[in-house]
């Protein structure tokens, strides 16, 4: 056995091996140790290997899903080795001692799950494949549970932000590339051929060309091919549901890098969970599919004014009719998860219950369509969704006739095909029903004949049907001419058979077996019918999810008095009475009120410098405006009285410093890397929020950097920007930067206590309140007093010397510094040429020098 185990373990490619032994999956050696620790189950030993006891643990097959879920969550991958022949077949093949053949039937990995129990209903589970083709990177992403597949390409530098947007639980990459992330899985380069990829995709969707789906580049096809090859590998030739690939157009989306996503806590909070995130604060979807669609919308807001308006109009339509909203949400609530049921059906792991869910979901979709079709003034998006929600009449009708009302998850016991669907099946059921009734009659007859009132006819898996009497009455039945044959003696009871019982039982078994086979045949047929129209069913599911998102957004807007934002094609942002959805919810839970604030950025006033005390609400204000832009471009209402958003192409957020020790970067380093990315990428169309740049280093360095960054954002990037800072000295930038204005969050000291008003006002912050905040935070009185005297000394010094910014009066303008820098490089270059003694150079040296000069010229951008 161990030999077979080791051979399978070899094929398991580092995954935990679930080795099927009867009713258990067993794990051995290090697998057993690891799994036992994660699952908190007993680690025992089985036999010996090279004289050492073999560590072992096991999980019952019927409960395996729960254990698998925990292992996957803990970052494991699992290979399932099943018995692929029965013990009888093994005996026939190799004699009495032959070992049952086992094979790995599938791999269970984080990105390839379809089981209901292993998936979170409100989160998409993404698998991504990445592949570099001549300097451009192809990305394929797929939610296996619903079959949606998207292909895109990006530059190598954009890989982290693309992967952050996709949020895959598993990433695969060719062994010729560097790993793109911690959870990435290396696969053979051969799997990522673009020709192969194209062929695979064409074959999968039975088309001669992929043109109808989109114009896919070589790198996209390579990544798509790699993804399909991987799925083929983990399913051991059994591919899950894959819908035709969609092309993702990069420009149509609001770009956000990984740091921005993390800092805005879009799908997960800084604590790592969904609680406290943006999506948790706004999700009012009543279906899992809706919640997943909402998360996708928030992860990839749009940049296309028309597309955003279409979504907004649908939300407005449902928002404006509270009765329709309530009715619609009620019917949607009862909707099963069609896309995931479809995913399981196509992956070959569907159950009768999944078919029932698809039937009920499609029937419900039609009812929703009929309900909405009668309404006046439907917005364009709704009009385009409605056709997708009908059209499955024949299939629904078939499944309604074929399946019982609530089909079971387990199909081996039968009982899911409805009465009246198949006359032959009904007859078989009648036969076994009659036989069952005959057995009941037989029991009564035997009681009469023997006079034993305690006589019973029972059934179990080993003996089948048998007659059981208490031991004290057994003698009469033991008599040779009693008509009963002895089968088993138990403590206190004895079991018998009889010819009549044997015959009736035989009828039940035979009819039951044939009925099961008939049900199985119908099941396969239904599966095939569903699979043949999978794309149409998936489209229906997507339409329902989109409807649920809009209804949920409308509900959230009604709950919080949110407004429909106006989307404009300009560089302004005008938000009146804006609020932070997450902070506001948190405050309302404790009965506190959120103070709404305005934000009006336009070309002539596009950079706001915001000062004020710690805890005053600066970060909250910065974030709330970024979130309002994000929500608006995702096509939803926003927490404000009024909002006009000039389309943003890229959103950057650097709020709150954090170490990234895993990547070996200190707080300051992280801050600088992120700021560098903003300076390099932000355009006039971008929106940037920056919080306390320069805080992580010495005061002089910090102030100098903050100063230069503000100037660069103002002069070079020219984007809309909110910049929060504690450096009062930066206020002087208002003298030289025309489009910069000063603002502060208000605070007051009242009877010695600090009162934070969380209200934004124009003008610079009047003073610092650091010590007052420290006192609020519980710093011991003596420490605060001591700090006060140190501060008094420092302030005196500042008065005498002119303070930190004393020397900045004659600082040249930023633009002239750039020109100066460029001039510097030009001058150096020219003087190198002038000083050159050409006659002293050999031809070889001259050529080398020419190359060197060209390289230098390129690197200095001359």
Ligand X SMILES: Nc1ncnc2c1ncn2[C@@H]1O[C@H](COP(=O)(O)OP(=O)(O)OP(=O)(O)O)[C@@H](O)[C@H]1O
The residue number whose beta carbon is nearest to ligand X equals 617
Of the pair 512, 613, the CB lying nearest ligand X is at 613
Q: Do the beta carbons of residue 654 and residue 691 sit within 8 Å?
A: yes
Using the rule CB under 6 A, is 618 a contact of ligand X? yes
Least separation in angstroms between residue 594's CB and ligand X is 4
Q: How far is the CB of 691 from ligand X (least distance, A)?
A: 7
Element (H or E) spanning 619, and its range? helix 618-633
Binding to ligand X by residue 543, rule CB under 6 A? no
User: Which region among 290-298, 336-344, 415-423, 614-622 touches ligand X (by CB under 6 A)?
Assistant: 614-622
In whole angstroms, the minimum distance from the beta carbon of 578 to ligand X comes to: 9
How far apart CA 678 and CA 555 sit, in angstroms, is 36
Count the residues of the shown chain that bind ligand X, applying the rule CB under 6 A.
13
Closest CA to 653 of 567, 758, 724: 724
Structural contact between residues 128 and 121, judged by C-beta atoms closer than 8 angstroms: no
Rounded to the nearest whole angstrom, what is the least distance from the CB of residue 797 to ligand X in the complex? 24
Site string for ligand X, 571-610 (x = CB under 6 A): ------------x---x------xx---------------
Closer residue to ligand X in complex, CB, 268/620? 620
615 marked as part of a ligand binding site? yes
CB of 618 to ligand X, least distance (A): 3
Q: Which is nearer to ligand X, 614 or 633 (CB)?
A: 614
Question: 617 among the known binding-site residues?
Answer: yes
Q: Is 763 within any annotated ligand binding site?
A: no
Does position 614 bind ligand X by CB under 6 A? yes
Q: How far is CA 284 from CA 239, 276, 357, 490, 554, in A?
A: 34, 15, 22, 60, 9
In the bound state with ligand X, the residue whose beta carbon lies nearer, of 427 and 641, is: 641
Contact status: 640 vs ligand X (CB under 6 A): no
Q: Using the minimum distance from each CB to ligand X, give the nearer residue, 32 or 278.
A: 278
Residues forming beta bridges with residue 745, ordered by sequence position? 760
Q: In what order do the strands lie in the sheet with 170-174?
A: 184-187, 170-174, 126-133, 136-143, 148-154, 246-247
12-20, 162-170, 482-490, 613-621 -> range binding ligand X (CB under 6 A): 613-621
State the Cα angle at 666 between 660 and 667, rounded to 5°. Answer: 85
DSSP state, residue 548: H
Q: Which stretch binds ligand X (CB under 6 A): 258-266, 562-570, 618-626, 841-849?
A: 618-626
Nearest to 248 by CA among 131, 130, 150, 139: 150
Q: Residue 200 half-sphere exposure, CB side, CA atoms within 13 Å?
A: 24
How would you label 651-690 residue by residue, b for 16+ Cβ within 10 Å and e otherwise?
bbbbbebeeeeeeeeeebebbbebbebbeebbeebbbbbb
Please identify which residue in 343, 391, 617, 702 interacts with ligand X, judged by CB under 6 A. 617
For ligand X, give the closer residue by CB, 194 or 620: 620
Asked whether the beta carbons of 307 and 632 are under 8 A apart, the reply is no
Q: In whole angstroms, how close is the CB of 752 to ligand X at the nearest point?
A: 20
φ/ψ of residue 259, rounded to 5: -65, -40
Q: Is 619 annotated as a binding residue?
A: yes
Task: Report if residue 620 touches ligand X, rule: CB under 6 A.
Answer: yes
The reply to whether 319 sits near ligand X by the rule CB under 6 A is no
Task: Kindly give the pairing relationship between strand 484-490 and strand 566-568.
Answer: unpaired
| C-alpha 247, offset from chain centre | 19
793 labeled part of a ligand binding site: no
Nearest-approach distance from CB 660 to ligand X, in angstroms: 19
Q: Rounded to an integer, what distance in angstroms lies between the CA atom of residue 373 and that of residue 827?
A: 73
Sole residue written with tokens 């185990």: 5
What are the structure tokens assigned to 457, written together?
């006819």
125 marked among binding-site residues: no
Per the DSSP assignment, residues forming a β-bridge with 741 are 608
User: Least distance from C-beta 619 to ligand X, angstroms?
Assistant: 3
Binding ligand X by CB under 6 A: which of 390, 616, 636, 696?
616
Considering only residues 268, 293, 540, 619, which one is a binding residue for ligand X as defined by CB under 6 A? 619
Contact call for residues 192 and 225 (beta carbons, < 8 A):
yes
- 696 scored as a contact of ligand X (CB under 6 A): no
Crossing angle of the two packed helices 843-859 and 814-834, in degrees rounded to 10: 180
The residues near 428 (Cβ < 8 Å, ≥ 6 apart) are 511, 512, 514, 515, 518
Q: Is 237 exposed, middle or buried (0-12, 13-18, 19+ CB in 10 A)?
A: exposed
**Within the chain, how many helices (H) and strands (E) appear?**
28, 27
Q: Report if residue 615 touches ligand X, rule: CB under 6 A.
A: yes
* Least gap, CB of 584 to ligand X (angstroms): 8
Nearer to ligand X, 618 or 718 (CB): 618
Query: Is there binding between residue 141 and ligand X (CB under 6 A)?
Result: no
Q: Report the site for ligand X in 720-759 (rule: CB under 6 A).
A: 745, 758
In the complex, minimum distance from the CB of residue 726 to ligand X, in angstroms, rounded to a whole number? 7
Positions at the binding site for ATP: 612-619
**Residue positions forming the annotated binding site:** 612-619
Contact residues for ligand X, defined by CB under 6 A: 583, 587, 594-595, 614-620, 745, 758
């Amino acid at each position: 056995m161990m030999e077979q185990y080791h051979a399978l373990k070899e094929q398991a490619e580092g995954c935990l091996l679930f080795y099927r032994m009867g009713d258990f999956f067993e794990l051995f050696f290090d697998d057993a140790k690891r799994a036992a620790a994660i699952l908190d189950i007993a680690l025992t030993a089985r036999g010996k290997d090279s004289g050492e006891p073999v560590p072992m643990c096991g999980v019952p097959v019927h409960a395996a899903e729960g254990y698998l879920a925990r292992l996957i969550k803990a970052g494991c991958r699992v290979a399932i080795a099943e018995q692929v022949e029965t013990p009888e077949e093994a005996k026939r093949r190799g004699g009495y001692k032959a070992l049952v053949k086992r094979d790995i039937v599938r791999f269970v990995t984080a990105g390839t799950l379809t089981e209901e129990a292993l998936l979170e209903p409100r989160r998409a589970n993404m698998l991504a494949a990445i592949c570099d083709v001549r300097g451009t990177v192809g990305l394929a992403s797929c939610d296996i549970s619903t079959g949606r597949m998207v292909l895109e390409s990006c530059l190598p530098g954009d890989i982290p932000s693309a992967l952050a947007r996709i949020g895959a639980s598993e990433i695969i990459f060719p062994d010729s590339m560097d790993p793109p992330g911690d959870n990435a899985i290396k696969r053979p380069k051969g799997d990522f051929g673009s020709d192969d990829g194209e062929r695979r995709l064409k074959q999968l969707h039975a088309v001669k060309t992929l043109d109808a789906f989109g114009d896919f580049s070589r790198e996209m096809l390579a990544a798509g091919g790699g993804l399909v090859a991987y799925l083929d590998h983990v399913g051991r030739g059994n591919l899950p549901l894959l819908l035709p690939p969609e092309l993702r157009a990069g420009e149509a989306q609001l770009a956000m890098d990984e740091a921005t996503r993390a800092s805005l806590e879009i799908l997960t909070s800084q604590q790592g969970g969904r609680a406290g995130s943006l999506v948790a604060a706004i999700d009012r979807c009543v279906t899992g599919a809706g919640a997943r669609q909402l998360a996708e919308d928030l992860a990839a807001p749009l940049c296309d004014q028309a597309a955003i308006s279409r979504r907004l109009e649908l939300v407005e339509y449902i928002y404006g009719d509270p009765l329709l909203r309530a009715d619609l949400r009620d019917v949607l609530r009862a909707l099963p998860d069609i896309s995931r049921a479809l995913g399981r059906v196509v992956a070959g792991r569907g159950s009768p219950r999944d078919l029932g869910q698809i039937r009920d979901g499609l029937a419900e979709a039609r009812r929703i369509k009929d309900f909405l079709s009668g309404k006046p003034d439907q917005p364009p998006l709704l009009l385009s969704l409605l056709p997708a929600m009908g059209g499955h009449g024949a299939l629904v009708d078939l499944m309604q006739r074929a399946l019982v009302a609530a089909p079971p998850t387990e199909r081996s016991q039968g009982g899911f095909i409805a009465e009246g669907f198949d006359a032959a099946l009904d007859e078989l059921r009648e036969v076994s029903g009659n036989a069952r009734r005959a057995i009941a009659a037989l029991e009564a007859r035997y009681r009469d004949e023997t006079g034993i009132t305690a006589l019973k006819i029972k059934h179990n898996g080993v003996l089948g049907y048998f007659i059981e009497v208490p031991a004290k009455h057994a003698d009469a039945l033991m008599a040779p001419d009693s008509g009963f044959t002895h089968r088993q003696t138990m403590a206190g009871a004895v079991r018998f058979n009889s010819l009549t019982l044997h015959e009736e039982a035989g009828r039940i078994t035979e009819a039951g077996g044939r009925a099961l086979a008939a049900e199985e045949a119908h099941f396969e047929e239904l599966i095939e019918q569903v699979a043949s129209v999978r794309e149409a069913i998936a489209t229906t599911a997507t339409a329902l999810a989109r409807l649920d998102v809009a209804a949920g957004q409308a509900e959230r807007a009604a709950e919080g008095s949110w407004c429909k934002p106006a989307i404009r094609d300009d560089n302004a942002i005008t938000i009146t009475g804006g609020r932070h959805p997450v902070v506001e919810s948190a405050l309302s839970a404790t009965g506190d009120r959120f103070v709404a604030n305005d934000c009006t950025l336009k070309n002539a006033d596009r950079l706001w410098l915001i000062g004020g005390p710690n805890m005053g609400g600066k970060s909250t204000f910065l974030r709330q405006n970024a979130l309002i832009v994000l929500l608006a471009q995702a096509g939803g209402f926003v927490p404000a009285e009024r909002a006009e958003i000039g389309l943003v192409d890229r959103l950057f957020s650097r709020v709150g410093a954090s170490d990234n020790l895993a990547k070996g970067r200190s707080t300051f380093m992280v801050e600088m890397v992120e700021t560098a990315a903003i300076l390099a990428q932000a355009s006039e169309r971008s929106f940037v929020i920056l919080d306390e740049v320069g805080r992580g280093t010495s005061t002089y360095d910090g102030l100098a950097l903050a100063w230069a960054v503000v100037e660069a954002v103002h002069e070079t990037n020219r984007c809309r920007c909110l910049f929060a800072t504690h450096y009062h000295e930066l206020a002087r930038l208002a003298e030289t930067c025309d489009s910069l204005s000063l603002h502060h969050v208000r605070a007051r000291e009242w009877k010695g206590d600090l009162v934070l008003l969380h209200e934004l006002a124009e003008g610079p912050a009047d003073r610092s309140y650091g010590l007052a905040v420290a006192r609020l935070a519980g710093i011991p009185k003596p420490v605060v007093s001591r700090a006060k005297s140190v501060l008094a000394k420092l302030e005196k010094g500042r008065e005498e010397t002119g303070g930190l910014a004393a020397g900045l009066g004659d600082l040249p303008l930023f633009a002239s510094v750039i020109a100066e820098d460029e001039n510097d490089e030009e001058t150096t270059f020219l003087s190198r040429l002038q000083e050159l003694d050409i006659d002293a150079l050999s031809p070889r040296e001259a050529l080398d020098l020419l190359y060197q000069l060209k390289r230098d010229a390129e690197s200095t951008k001359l």
